[in-house]
Structure 1
Amino acid sequence: MIAVSLPSSTPEPARVPILSRHWDEPESWTLRSYMGQNGYQGLKAALRLSPDEVIEQVKASGLRGRGGAGFPVGTKWSFIPQGPAPGGDGTPHYLVVNADESEPGTCKDMPLLLASPHTLVEGVIIAAYAIRAHHAFIYVRGEVAGVVRRLRTAVEEAYDAGLLGRDVLGSGFALDLVVHAGAGAYICGEETALLDSLEGRRGQPRLRPPFPAVAGLYASPTVVNNVESIASVPSIMRNGPDWFREFGTEKSPGFTMYSLSGHVARPGQYEAPLGITLRELLARAGGVRAGHELKFWTPGGSSTPMFTAEHLDIPLDYEGVGAAGSMLGTKALQIFDETVCVVRAVLRWTEFYAHESCGKCTPCREGTYWLVQLMRRLEAGDATEADLTTLTDVTDSVVGKSFCALGDAAGAPIMSSLTHFRDEYLAHFPHDGHPGGCPFDPEKSTVFASVSPESEGGAR
């Protein structure tokens, strides 16, 4: 075991960024660097409290799940049967971190894991202590091999420093942490499908109840949280719930990562308090690409109903986005300008959901297939207005009828695009001498236009 000296904790200023504050420092992913950033001070503070007191601290902070649904994290932890370890009911408890980031447009967890994996590791230890779990798992997409390697290196460093293992920092609390690489299925982002995959079975959603808090991994009480949810816990334990509530709004407190991609001047990760607007985020990101204007955007990835330029000032918190008819989701803000064909974009998303359907339930398996067929006909201009009615009917047979939320995700972009851009669908049909088909030039719709060295005055 390598001895580790933890610096004394000092309160952090109430300003963002928090999670990404040290990403640009040399070797920010190492334990040595993380220790210089008040690393593992939150764990020290947590170990001075009882598990129940840690849960109450997280509840008081108002931290909500950052994976999509926004369910209160502390409340989710409290669903686990409490009592002396390993649990009040005599069965082991498990903590599983969902790092299977795969929602189109979402790219916030992987940068965090690359730049500061120990933030997550510290959060995992605190969360496991709170729910009285002695085994924890981080489930990562297998395609991101660099992230898997960096996480495993961070876990090894934590073991060597006595932060994991049989006696965490001399507290008597024992925890083993495993980094598990998945096989790359979108459906494994659904928590029960993830658990089946983790157990070695095909990733498919489970029938609920029972819920994971009662019968999750290996039929034992289990908490499944998103990466950012767990990574937010150490700063709460270091600085207290009141400090955390200085950010964000009353019902959506705290800070979060917003992923801006598409037709924006400076795409990337923007950490900000919940409740910021897209207008403010675009100001930070340099606005929509030069010479163009915003046409439509997604507030939480392709599975959330799209917004238009009329929604630029909607507060990007759970209540504000919900009241406007969409969902905050993973806060994947995909920006599209006026060159993009809405029908073509929705078709691409629909093809993705049809491809990623696990096939377990008929509404999703059959419904997403027919949605793709209809969308292809519409995009090609081979359909009639009656096909729009059929498209709506098929979407209605999928949304709310499928086994999990994938069916809802497939229907969201279709229904919202018909609400905001029905005329654009109609423009694809033969009319006024137009033979039918997409009226938009694909070359002008690209996010990253190819530029030859000659046109730029030579190679640089």
Structure 2
Amino acid sequence: MRLENRESLAKKREDAKAAMKQPKHRILVCAGTGCLAGGSAKIYDRFVELAAKEDGVEVAFGDEAHQGIHTGVKRSGCHGFCEMGPLVRIEPSNYLYIKVKEDDCDEIFEESIYNDRPVERLLYESEGVKYETQEKIPFYAKQTRLVLKNCGHIDAENIDEYLAVGGYRALEKVLFDMTPQEVIDEILESNLRGRGGGGFQTGYKWKQVARQKETERYVVCNGDEGDPGAFMDRSVMEGDPHKMLEGMMIAGYAVGAAEGYIYVRAEYPLAINRLKLAIAQANEAGLLGENILGTGFHFQIHINRGAGAFVCGEGSALTASIEGERGMPRTKPPRTVEQGLFGKPTVLNNVETYANVPMIINEGAAWYHTIGTEGSPGTKAFALTGSVKNTGLIEVPMGTNLRDIVYDIGGGVKNDVPFKAVQIGGPSGGCLVTRDLDVKLDFDSLKKLGAMIGSGGLVVMDENTCMVEVARFFMNFTQNESCGKCVPCREGTKRMLEILEDIVAGKGTEESLTMLEELGEAITNTALCGLGKSAALPVLSTLRNFREEYLEHVVEKRCKTGNCQALQNYKILPEVCKGCSKCARNCPVNAISGKIKEPFVIDQAVCIKCGTCLENCPFGAIVKES
């Protein structure tokens, strides 16, 4: 049914609330990418089979509610606790079951649906404490989930459930109660800063677009998210797509745009499918398209799939890609707000930024400033990965310190190994070390440390991590992803990568470190786009914080963590060696010699550090020395 006015929207919302409350129980099976990879689709199908045995059961998205519904089985978006997936949430008891298998479904249904009891063995346990409800689990209890509030709690493929939890209330408010300028003023007052990495003030972008003489304007959403290990935007698009669409529509109303484009990387097929479905549902409901809710506001949203180029996260490269051109940044000015998509004024924000807009409109700028810091209000979603006990998607107020994230939410470093560093902001970010554990994570505080929030990747590293190899890994990624348009990025990153590869291969010198610093500074100061200017940050920050580790590699030719294969030495312990010759017979370069029944020796000048001898020694006589 197409909604023609405010009254019909209000009625639809009330009907949706009633339908959502009607089932006695709701089973929410995580259908985010991570849990689907772990088999949650089969878990969902099994719950559907079990629920279908009951009369009048609702088992699929979009079904109308019927009197007497006992159990609703739903596909939700990402719950965030990815380390523990597949996840299943039971409402209204709020039990959260972890690492669920298809074989567990019958027991869950019997215990939690028929008998309202938890299945103890599937509950999360920490330090001897079992947590029955999701909200009490430390991973969730320490968070402030606003952007991610609906993810894992509503059917990701049903617009009615989004309406039932207050969806499109902000759009209704701006269309009927606010002028475009009032919307821009509210976003300006909130000081919402772009969550894609740069932290630029969102309201100021909108203001610049709205004041352009050109009346044809566009709204663009950057859903490319190319940082390794980052999946914040993907989870919003998969788990709560209408929230992002609503934010884009409000932006369109504020700046006078009639069309929006979402640029999503092709590696996100589930996000694309759910966005397509959400757009179709919004069009059918009259919340997208012509004359929305009878107000005379027209807005349509299109999806463009990117080919996975990291550089297309940069604004001008992204818009060029949408236009069908090669995704390469251009010189500025003019900026995107003046000449963006198709040469027209363009609002360009990322998924998380748009997802913040509806709640700012609903609750007000003053409320928004009660969360986070004065210079960086609101929350930030992070992808917490690496050597941490609880990996997953989290959301915390801006200004939360690293210690709280790693040790309270993350549960501490895996195997209780000492903490070493966090790589924040992906390939464009930098390292935070032990002395930074109590630094506030906000735009301004991190800038002073030579790091940046970026899109929100947090990779935790312990003392067994080689920071030189970390720098080489990120530089390899950046160099491969360079569009090649400007010399500093195209040639400079290549030279830096070559130097880093020499260092981890044992061929570096102290002059190599000086060269890295000089090249890094030159690229930062002269590269064409923001991605190029930040390409050297991981190297420069690790050089600054772990210089002694670089010196060990270039002076002592040693990697104390044992990660750099070329810097390892294999030694035969003469008191253990039985002289069986198995190591010599398996050595691919004949670096081992000796006599039968006497200790063998390794010629270090010939040895290629392959480790074959270590693997084949039956007596444990060969050891690896760092």
Output the TM-score relative to the length of structure 1: 0.90
| Structure 1 residue aligned with 2:425 | 300
Distance in 2 of aligned mates of 1:26 and 1:361:
46
**Residues 128-166 of structure 1: CA distance to partner in whole angstroms, max 9, x if unpaired?**
100100011010001111111111110000000000001
Range with greater deviation from structure 2 (297-306 or 357-366): 297-306
| Structure 1 residue aligned with 2:267 | 143
Give the drift of 1:26. 4.7
| Structure 2 residue aligned with 1:422 | 547
SS for the counterpart of 2:420 is strand
1:38 equivalent to 2:133? Answer no
**Residues 402-447 of structure 1: CA distance to partner in whole angstroms, max 9, x if unpaired?**
111233222111111111111111111353xxxx353323499xxx
| Structure 2 residue aligned with 1:453 | none
Range with greater deviation from structure 2 (290-299 or 177-186): 290-299
1:122 equivalent to 2:250? Answer no
Distance in 2 of aligned mates of 1:439 and 1:376:
17
Aligned residue among 335, 352, 355 for 1:211: 335
Contact kept? 2:320, 2:326, Cα under 8 Å: yes
Give the drift of 1:230. 0.7
Range with greater deviation from structure 2 (207-216 or 19-28): 19-28
| Structure 2 residue aligned with 1:258 | 382
SS for the counterpart of 1:427 is helix
Contact kept? 1:382, 1:437, Cα under 8 Å: no
The equivalences for 1:93-172 within 5 A come to 93-172=217-296
Range with greater deviation from structure 2 (390-399 or 408-417): 390-399
Distance in 2 of aligned mates of 1:31 and 1:390:
56
Contact kept? 2:260, 2:299, Cα under 8 Å: yes
Contact kept? 1:17, 1:272, Cα under 8 Å: yes
Distance in 2 of aligned mates of 1:443 and 1:428:
9
Change (3 A) 1:207 1:395: same
Distance in 2 of aligned mates of 1:410 and 1:90:
35
| Structure 1 residue aligned with 2:153 | 25
SS for the counterpart of 1:410 is coil
| Structure 2 residue aligned with 1:74 | 203
Contact kept? 2:387, 2:414, Cα under 8 Å: yes
RMSD, aligned CA: 1.9
Range with greater deviation from structure 2 (253-262 or 192-201): 253-262
Distance in 1 of aligned mates of 2:460 and 2:278:
34
**Residues 312-368 of structure 1: CA distance to partner in whole angstroms, max 9, x if unpaired?**
000111122223332222222111000010011110100001100001011111111
1:276 equivalent to 2:400? Answer yes
Distance in 2 of aligned mates of 1:407 and 1:5:
47
Q: Provide structure 2 residue ranges, at least 5 long, that are not aligned to the other structure.
A: 18-142, 566-626
Give the drift of 1:90. 4.5
Distance in 1 of aligned mates of 2:154 and 2:261:
28
| Structure 2 residue aligned with 1:371 | 496
Distance in 2 of aligned mates of 1:185 and 1:366:
18
Change (3 A) 1:227 1:320: same
Change (3 A) 1:81 1:125: closer
| Structure 2 residue aligned with 1:448 | none
Distance in 2 of aligned mates of 1:112 and 1:336:
26
1:439 equivalent to 2:568? Answer no
Contact kept? 2:180, 2:255, Cα under 8 Å: yes
Change (3 A) 1:219 1:174: same
Distance in 2 of aligned mates of 1:53 and 1:339:
53
Range with greater deviation from structure 2 (414-423 or 293-302): 293-302
Aligned residue among 181, 195, 200 for 1:52: 181
Contact kept? 1:303, 1:410, Cα under 8 Å: yes
Distance in 2 of aligned mates of 1:81 and 1:30:
33
Q: Provide structure 1 residue ranges, at least 5 long, that are not aligned to the other structure.
A: 83-87, 445-460
State the one-letter code of the partner of 1:34: Y
Distance in 2 of aligned mates of 1:383 and 1:441:
17
Distance in 2 of aligned mates of 1:130 and 1:59:
12
Contact kept? 2:210, 2:256, Cα under 8 Å: no
Contact kept? 1:381, 1:430, Cα under 8 Å: no
State the one-letter code of the partner of 1:439: K
Output the TM-score relative to the length of structure 2: 0.67
Contact kept? 1:297, 1:335, Cα under 8 Å: yes
Change (3 A) 1:169 1:443: farther
| Structure 1 residue aligned with 2:437 | 312
- Amino-acid identity (%): 37
Change (3 A) 1:443 1:341: closer
Change (3 A) 1:403 1:67: same
| Structure 2 residue aligned with 1:194 | 318
**Residues 87-143 of structure 1: CA distance to partner in whole angstroms, max 9, x if unpaired?**
x62430001001110123322100111110001011111111001000110100011
Does 1 or 2 have the higher relative contact order (CA < 8 Å, sep 6+)? 1
1:336 equivalent to 2:461? Answer yes
State the one-letter code of the partner of 2:320: D
SS for the counterpart of 2:546 is helix
Distance in 1 of aligned mates of 2:496 and 2:448:
27
Give the drift of 1:186. 0.3
| Structure 1 residue aligned with 2:452 | 327
| Structure 1 residue aligned with 2:412 | 287
State the one-letter code of the partner of 2:371: F
| Structure 2 residue aligned with 1:406 | 531
Range with greater deviation from structure 2 (100-109 or 111-120): 100-109
State the one-letter code of the partner of 2:267: E
Contact kept? 1:364, 1:406, Cα under 8 Å: no
Distance in 2 of aligned mates of 1:443 and 1:305:
21
Distance in 1 of aligned mates of 2:484 and 2:214:
36
Distance in 2 of aligned mates of 1:260 and 1:21:
18
Distance in 1 of aligned mates of 2:469 and 2:214:
54
Change (3 A) 1:16 1:383: closer
Distance in 2 of aligned mates of 1:323 and 1:202:
35
Give the drift of 1:290. 2.0
Distance in 1 of aligned mates of 2:493 and 2:306:
24
**Residues 253-301 of structure 1: CA distance to partner in whole angstroms, max 9, x if unpaired?**
1112122110111111111111111111121121111231210112322
Give the drift of 1:81. 3.9
